[in-house]
Amino acid sequence: MGMRRIHRKAGVVLAATALLTGMSGFAAATTAQAASTATCWDTIVENNSSLTTKLKATYNLKDGIGSVCANIQSVSKDTTFYVWCGATNPDSGVLWFYGRIKGTETKGWMSSDNLNFVSGTWSYC
């Protein structure tokens, strides 16, 4: 899928530095912590879908694929969200959709768990 990780945790950098400098006791603890930390994922998007959805409740539109990603904006219940394409989060297996909020040019990622189907179909990014 061409996904790449967007590293947001300093622990990963610290773990790599510790490994390179031979501080094995520090590296073991930091590496274990980093492995259990979720990652914000990103992928190339394209507008190849016709899926229209509505939000089940108020949720945050994200700048990446995953709940740990930064918030773009809060989106209210029953707001229409036009899906451009979808991608699966490798950490959780949850399907996320990239798209646009109706009546705006605001785009971002939303978990499929937060959306109700209205019409159309979707394809992977």
* The dihedral formed by the CA atoms of 8, 79, 50 and 44, expressed in degrees to the nearest 10: -10
Distance CA(34)–CA(79), nearest Å, equals 36
* Nearest residue to 19 (alpha-carbon basis) of 11, 10, 28: 28
State the pLDDT at residue 84. Answer: 98
Class level of CATH domain 42-119: mainly beta
pLDDT value at 12 more than 70: no
| Domain boundaries, given as residue ranges, for the chain | 4-37, 42-119
pLDDT in tens, 49-106: 999 999 999 999 999 999 999 999 999 999 999 999 999 999 999 999 999 999 999 9
Distance CA(16)–CA(21), nearest Å, equals 9
